[in-house]
């Protein structure tokens, strides 16, 4: 049974605060400007999830032993439509971090093999690479991405790194990096990997709901996308794509009942289902985030569809960039669909001279202070400058961002007031 969300028949093509009122239940003191970190699941999707939970609890044995397998097939069909992939190459994992760990810790990599990634790779993935190096001697090499940089330059740094490291086995890159937010030339990078005969892993944590993707067109070796970020899914749902030739090699995390040795042959009918059958049940867990993907997909259609949602969010992000950069008299580093990264009005000379400890304090203040004002805009140091990232979503309007700008301004005032006092103290000491 497909559980459909109880969406009002009148379709909410009006985005902005009307959509916030209709479909989200944020605390009224919360000004959400950071959809990119954890997403925000709309009420109709949560209602559908509650129905799924009720269905499971009505008869857990029946559900876990039979119904789960039917529901997962339906959810998988939705996932495939969303990322344009083959059903037998498409499974669910809890999040992008699990997806990356699943693949990179299953591949039969050996001591001395090299994994190439980049300086804007998500921290959790980099830590996974560190673990592999310390535990198994699998090397990881980072290429520098320092914006402004164009697509050709990005592909070129990967090309040079592959050429410089003949032991390269796999490259990791994002669809859209988190901090700073930027769309990577992932299609060209997959082509490069194929040309150089190395594997490709696309970290698409930020992709469905943010940019259109097609596995049939891109044809990477591996790809993971969160549904709970930009897809409006329930937290704890992500789609992992594994190209057919790697099904034998990719094991679940944790390895579980469904384990089969790589060399174990199956009857043709079971063989083609090796990946999907392996990934359905790997221990008792909450499966509702996977099953609720259909409700998220339907909800998005009903409020206007992917193109309309993207248009509203991307247009708003452009206005947000202009607003913030205009007030700070700085510039936008770049847009990544609904995310925009804007430079803060902090002199580069100050950042060049400041101690790491002081810079860390500033960073922390820009993280912490806006929370006391009911908002959050993640900061980042990049290429000698400091930036913040804003996310735009259908529940936002331009005026929301003034709350974020003001909160960051207050944090800067607090920090630089202390800075002046420190300088005054230094004068007294002298
Ligand atoms: C680029 C990128 N990769 C991976 C992740 C990890 O996502 P999750 O916490 O859902 O595993 C994030 C989260 O923000 C991300 O931005």
Confidence of residue 422 (pLDDT cuts 50, 70, 90): low
What pLDDT sits at residue 84? Answer: 98
Question: Which residues on adjacent β-strands are paired with residue 207?
Answer: none
What pLDDT sits at residue 418? Answer: 82
Q: How far from 318 is each of 94, 177, 220, 342, 391, CA to CA, in Å? A: 32, 18, 30, 11, 11
pLDDT of residue 12 exceeding 60:
no
- Domains recognised in the chain with CATH numbers: 53-300 (3.40.640.10), 306-429 (3.90.1150.10)
Q: Whose CA is closest to atom 16 on ligand 1?
A: 178
Structure tokens at 83: 């990322």
Distance (angstroms) between ligand 1 centre and the Cα of 96 equals 6
Token look-up 């002046």 returns: 420
Confidence of residue 13 (pLDDT cuts 50, 70, 90): low
For 316-343, b where at least 16 C-beta lie within 10 A, e where not — what string? bbeebbebbbeebebebbbbbbbbbbbb
Confidence of residue 398 (pLDDT cuts 50, 70, 90): very high
What residue ranges in 32-150 does DSSP mark as E strands? 90-93, 114-118, 139-143
Confidence of residue 10 (pLDDT cuts 50, 70, 90): very low
What pLDDT sits at residue 420? Answer: 72
Ligand 1 binding pocket, CB closer than 6 Å: 37, 95-97, 122, 124, 174, 177-178, 203, 205-206, 226
Q: Tell me the pLDDT tens digit for each residue of 142-191.
A: 999 999 999 999 999 999 999 999 999 999 999 999 999 999 999 999 99
Q: pLDDT > 70: what percent of the chain?
A: 95
Q: Tell me the pLDDT tens digit for each residue of 67-124.
A: 999 999 999 999 999 999 999 999 999 999 999 999 999 999 999 999 999 999 999 9
Q: Tell me the pLDDT tens digit for each residue of 296-325.
A: 999 999 999 999 999 999 999 999 999 999
Distance (angstroms) between ligand 1 centre and the Cα of 202 equals 12
In ligand 1, the atom with minimum distance to the C-alpha of 36 is 14
């Amino acid at each position: 049974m497909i559980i459909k969300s109880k969406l009002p028949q009148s379709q909410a093509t009006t985005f902005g605060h009307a959509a916030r009122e209709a479909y989200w239940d944020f605390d009224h003191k919360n000004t959400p400007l950071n959809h990119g970190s954890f997403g925000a699941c709309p009420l109709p999707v949560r209602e559908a999830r509650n129905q799924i939970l009720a269905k499971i609890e009505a008869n857990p044995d029946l559900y876990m032993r039979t119904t789960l397998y039917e529901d997962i097939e339906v959810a998988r069909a939705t996932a495939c439509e969303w990322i344009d992939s083959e059903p037998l190459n498409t499974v669910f994992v809890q999040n992008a971090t699990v997806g990356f760990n699943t693949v990179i810790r299953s591949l039969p990599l050996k001591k001395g093999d090299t994994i190439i990634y980049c300086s804007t790779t998500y921290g959790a993935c980099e830590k996974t690479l560190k673990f592999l190096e310390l535990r198994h001697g699998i090397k990881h090499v980072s290429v520098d991405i320092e914006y402004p940089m164009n697509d050709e330059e990005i592909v070129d740094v990967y090309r040079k790194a592959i050429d410089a490291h003949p032991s390269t086995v796999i490259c990791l890159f994002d669809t859209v990096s988190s901090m700073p937010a930027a769309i990577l030339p992932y299609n060209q990078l997959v082509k490069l990997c194929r040309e150089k005969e190395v594997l490709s892993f696309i970290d698409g944590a930020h992709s469905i709901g943010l940019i259109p993707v097609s596995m049939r067109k891109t044809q990477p070796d591996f790809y993971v996308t969160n549904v709970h970020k930009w897809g409006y899914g329930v937290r704890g749902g992500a789609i992992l794509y594994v190209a057919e030739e790697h099904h034998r090699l990719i094991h679940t995390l944790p390895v579980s009942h469904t384990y089969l040795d790589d060399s174990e042959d199956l009857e043709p009918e079971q063989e083609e289902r090796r990946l999907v059958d392996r990934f359905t049940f790997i221990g008792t867990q909450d499966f509702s985030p996977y099953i609720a993907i259909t409700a998220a997909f339907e909800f998005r259609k009903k409020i206007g569809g992917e193109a309309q949602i993207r248009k509203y969010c991307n247009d708003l992000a452009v206005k947000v960039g202009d607003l913030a950069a205009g007030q700070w008299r700085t510039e936008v580093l770049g847009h990544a669909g609904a995310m925009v990264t804007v430079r803060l009005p902090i002199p580069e000379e100050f950042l060049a001279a400041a101690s790491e400890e002081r810079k860390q304090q500033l960073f922390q203040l820009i993280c912490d202070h806006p929370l006391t004002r009911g908002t959050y805009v993640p900061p980042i140091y990049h290429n000698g400058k400091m930036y913040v990232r804003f996310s735009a979503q259908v529940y936002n309007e331009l005026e929301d961002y003034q709350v974020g700008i003001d909160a960051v301004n207050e944090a800067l005032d607090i920090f630089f007031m202390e800075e002046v006092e420190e300088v005054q103290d230094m004068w007294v000491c002298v």
